[in-house]
Structure 1
Amino acid sequence: MKESGPVLVRQRLYAFFEALETDLRDVLEGWVVPQVSREQMFGPYLQALLEREAKESRPESSPARLLDYLHLSEAIALLHMHDRRLPSDIAAHFRSTAQFLDELVPIRHRVMHIRSLLIDDPETVLRIAAVIAKNPGPWTRTAKVVGRLISEPEWAPLIDLPTPVSRILQNLPLPDFDETGLVGRGEEQRSLRKLILDGRQPVVTVAGEAGVGKTALTVSTLYSLLDDPECPFEAILWISLKAEILTAAGVEQLTVAARDALGIAEALGAPLGVGFLETASQLGENLRGIPALVVIDNLETVDASEVITLFDALPVTTQLVLTSRVGLGQLERRFPLGPLRQRDAQHLLRALARTRGLEVIATLADREMVSIVDALRNNPLAVKWFILAVEAGGQPELLLRHQERLLEYCVRSIYDGLTAAAKILLELLFALARPAGFGELVVLSGLHVDETRMALHELQRSSLLDLDTMGGPGLVFLYSLSSTAYQFTEQVQPVATATLEEVRRRDSELRRSEERRRLDEEQRGLAPQAVRLRSDADEPVAHLLRQALSMSKRGDLDSAREMIAQAHSLAPDYFEVPRVSAFIESMAGNLAIATQQYEKALRFASETSRPVVEFFFAGHLARVGHDPQRALPLAQAAHQGLHQPETANILGQIHMYLGQHKLAEEYFSEAAAGASGKLAMIVVTNRVNLRRRLAESVADEERKPVDAFRIAIEGVELGVDAMRGGTIDRRLDEGTFECAREAARIVARRISDPVLVQDELTRLAELADSMRNVWAALPDWPYLERDLQYVNERTGSSNEVHATVAVEQAGTITSYFDDKGYGFLLTDGGSNLFFGRFSLEVAGDVTYLFPGVRVRFSLGANDRGPCAIELRVDHPPSQPVLPGRRRGVVVTLQPSYCFVQDVPTGKRIFMHRSGLLSAAEWVRVLPGVNVEFEVMIGSKGAQVAPGSAALV
Structure 2
Amino acid sequence: MSKITETRLTLAALIYGVEIDLKNCIKKNITPYFENLAFFKDSKLEKKIIDRFERDNPGVSYEENLDEVIEFLDFQDTFTILNKNKEFLRKETSDYLKSNFKQLSDLTPIRNRVMHTRPLLGGDFSFTYDFVTTLKKSDPIEWQITIDTREKIEKDPSYVLTLKFPTNHIDEEISKVSHNLPVPDFDETGFIGRTEDVAVLTKLILSNKVVSVLGDGGIGKTALALKVAYDIVDMNENCPFELIIWTSAKTTMLTSKGIEDIFTAITDYTGLISEISGSIGTNNKLDEVLEYLDYFKTLLVIDNLETIQSDEVRDFIREAQTKCNILITSRIGLGELEYPRKLKGLSETESAKLIREIARIRNSETLLKLPQKTLVDISSKLYFNPLAIKWFVSTVESGIAPHEVINNKEDLLDFCLTNVYEKLSDGAISILKTIRASRKKVTNAEIIYLSDYKPLEVRKYLIELFKTTLISRQIEDGNNYEEVIYYISDFAKDFLSKKYPIEESYIKSNIKKSKELNIGIRQINKVQKYNEFALNALVYDNQNQMISAKFLQEALLYSKNGDFEGALNKVKEAKNIDPNYFEVYRVGAFIKATQGDLLSAEEDYQLGLEIAPENPRLLFYYAQFLMFKLEDTDGALEYAKKVYAQKPNHPYTAFLIARCFNTAQEFNKAIQVVRNLKENVELDPKNLRIANTELISYYAETGKSELRIQTDIDNGINHFKKAFDLFEECAEEKIVDYKMAKNFSVGILTFIKILPVVKIEDLKSYIKDLIINNDKYINLTVDLKEKIILLFKDKFTDNSLNYLIEFKEDERKLVGNLRRTRNPKDNFAFIETKNESIFAHRYDFIDVANWSDWKQIENGQLVSYELGENNSGPCAKSVKMI
TM-score w.r.t. the length of structure 2 is 0.67
Counterpart of 1:453? 459
Q: Which of 187, 190, 211 pairs up with 1:181?
A: 190
Counterpart of 1:251? 259
2:689–2:740 CA contact under 8 A, matched in 1 = no
Structure 2 residue 277 is matched with structure 1 residue 269: yes
Counterpart of 1:616? 621
1:171–1:236 CA contact under 8 A, matched in 2 = yes
CA–CA distance in 2 between the matches of 1:173 and 1:244?
A: 17
CA distance change for structure 1 residues 218 and 618 in 2, over 3 Å: closer, same or farther?
A: closer
Q: CA deviation at 1:472?
A: 0.8
Letter in 1 for 2:325: Q
Higher alpha-carbon deviation: 208-217 or 285-294 = 285-294
Q: Give deviations 1:789-834, integer Å, cap 9, x for gaps.
A: xxxxxxxxxxxxxxxxxxxxxxxxxxxxxxxxxxxxxxxxxxxx96
Structure 2 residue 90 is matched with structure 1 residue 48: no
Higher alpha-carbon deviation: 262-271 or 445-454 = 445-454
1:350–1:363 CA contact under 8 A, matched in 2 = no
Counterpart of 1:585? 592
Counterpart of 1:522? 529
Letter in 2 for 1:353: A
Higher fraction of helix: 2
1:351–1:362 CA contact under 8 A, matched in 2 = no
Q: CA deviation at 1:747?
A: 7.7
SS at match of 2:592: helix
SS at match of 2:420: helix
CA distance change for structure 1 residues 691 and 410 in 2, over 3 Å: closer, same or farther?
A: farther
CA distance change for structure 1 residues 394 and 134 in 2, over 3 Å: closer, same or farther?
A: farther
Structure 2 residue 869 is matched with structure 1 residue 862: no
CA–CA distance in 1 between the matches of 2:596 and 2:106?
A: 86
SS at match of 1:330: helix
1:691–1:715 CA contact under 8 A, matched in 2 = no
Counterpart of 1:203? 210
Identity of aligned residues (%): 24
Q: Which of 745, 760, 780 pairs up with 2:804?
A: 760
Letter in 2 for 1:593: S
Counterpart of 1:786? none
Q: Which of 288, 312, 325 pairs up with 1:319?
A: 325
Q: CA deviation at 1:296?
A: 0.8
Higher alpha-carbon deviation: 387-396 or 664-673 = 664-673
Q: CA deviation at 1:341?
A: 2.4
Q: CA deviation at 1:240?
A: 0.4
Counterpart of 1:842? none
1:19–1:145 CA contact under 8 A, matched in 2 = no
CA distance change for structure 1 residues 333 and 589 in 2, over 3 Å: closer, same or farther?
A: closer
CA–CA distance in 1 between the matches of 2:144 and 2:401?
A: 46
Structure 2 residue 341 is matched with structure 1 residue 297: no
> For 1:12-27, what aligned pairs fall within 5 Å after superposition?
none
SS at match of 1:413: coil
> For 1:437-452, what aligned pairs fall within 5 Å after superposition?
437-452=443-458
CA–CA distance in 2 between the matches of 1:52 and 1:102?
A: 28
Q: CA deviation at 1:530?
A: 0.9
CA–CA distance in 2 between the matches of 1:709 and 1:408?
A: 98
Structure 2 residue 287 is matched with structure 1 residue 281: yes
Counterpart of 1:740? 782
Counterpart of 1:242? 250
2:476–2:484 CA contact under 8 A, matched in 1 = yes
CA–CA distance in 2 between the matches of 1:71 and 1:256?
A: 42
CA distance change for structure 1 residues 702 and 655 in 2, over 3 Å: closer, same or farther?
A: farther
Q: CA deviation at 1:348?
A: 0.2
CA–CA distance in 1 between the matches of 2:766 and 2:829?
A: 27
CA distance change for structure 1 residues 708 and 592 in 2, over 3 Å: closer, same or farther?
A: farther
SS at match of 2:247: strand
Higher alpha-carbon deviation: 592-601 or 650-659 = 650-659
CA–CA distance in 1 between the matches of 2:436 and 2:629?
A: 48
1:130–1:146 CA contact under 8 A, matched in 2 = no
1:444–1:503 CA contact under 8 A, matched in 2 = yes
> For 1:449-848, what aligned pairs fall within 5 Å after superposition?
449-463=455-469, 464-533=471-540, 538-607=545-614, 609-610=615-616, 612-621=617-626, 623-625=628-630, 631=636, 638=643, 641-647=647-653, 674=683, 684=737, 686-687=739-740, 690=743, 739-740=781-782, 743=785, 756-757=800-801, 760-761=804-805, 768-769=812-813, 835-836=870-871
CA–CA distance in 1 between the matches of 2:47 and 2:624?
A: 98
Q: Give deviations 1:838-869, integer Å, cap 9, x for gaps.
A: x7xxxxxxxxxxxxxxxxxxxxx427x579xx
2:483–2:542 CA contact under 8 A, matched in 1 = no
SS at match of 2:301: strand
SS at match of 1:268: helix
Q: CA deviation at 1:654?
A: 7.0
Q: Which runs of 5+ in 1 are unaligned?
A: 55-65, 82-91, 721-735, 784-832, 840-860, 868-952
CA–CA distance in 2 between the matches of 1:754 and 1:632?
A: 45
1:449–1:570 CA contact under 8 A, matched in 2 = yes
CA–CA distance in 1 between the matches of 2:768 and 2:430?
A: 69
Q: Which of 169, 188, 202 pairs up with 2:178?
A: 169
Counterpart of 2:117? 114
1:466–1:482 CA contact under 8 A, matched in 2 = no
2:816–2:832 CA contact under 8 A, matched in 1 = no
SS at match of 1:181: coil
Letter in 1 for 2:190: G
2:633–2:660 CA contact under 8 A, matched in 1 = yes
Q: Give deviations 1:74-116, integer Å, cap 9, x for gaps.
A: 89979x99xxxxxxxxxx9xx99x9999998866654554332
Letter in 2 for 1:238: W
Counterpart of 1:381? 387
CA–CA distance in 1 between the matches of 2:658 and 2:548?
A: 33
Q: Give deviations 1:381-413, integer Å, cap 9, x for gaps.
A: 221122223233444335445544323332343
Counterpart of 2:415? 409
CA distance change for structure 1 residues 676 and 774 in 2, over 3 Å: closer, same or farther?
A: farther
CA distance change for structure 1 residues 621 and 483 in 2, over 3 Å: closer, same or farther?
A: same
Q: Give deviations 1:530-570, integer Å, cap 9, x for gaps.
A: 12345676322222222211121122222211121222333
> For 1:132-143, what aligned pairs fall within 5 Å after superposition?
none
CA distance change for structure 1 residues 316 and 531 in 2, over 3 Å: closer, same or farther?
A: closer
Q: Which runs of 5+ in 2 are unaligned?
A: 38-45, 59-66, 83-92, 694-736, 820-827, 835-867
Q: CA deviation at 1:159?
A: 12
Counterpart of 1:814? none
1:407–1:492 CA contact under 8 A, matched in 2 = no
CA–CA distance in 2 between the matches of 1:503 and 1:121?
A: 51
CA–CA distance in 1 between the matches of 2:270 and 2:534?
A: 66
Letter in 1 for 2:602: T
Number of equivalent positions: 730
Q: Give deviations 1:666-717, integer Å, cap 9, x for gaps.
A: 9999899945679979984543554676688689999999999999999995
1:636–1:651 CA contact under 8 A, matched in 2 = yes
CA–CA distance in 2 between the matches of 1:360 and 1:714?
A: 102
Letter in 2 for 1:760: L
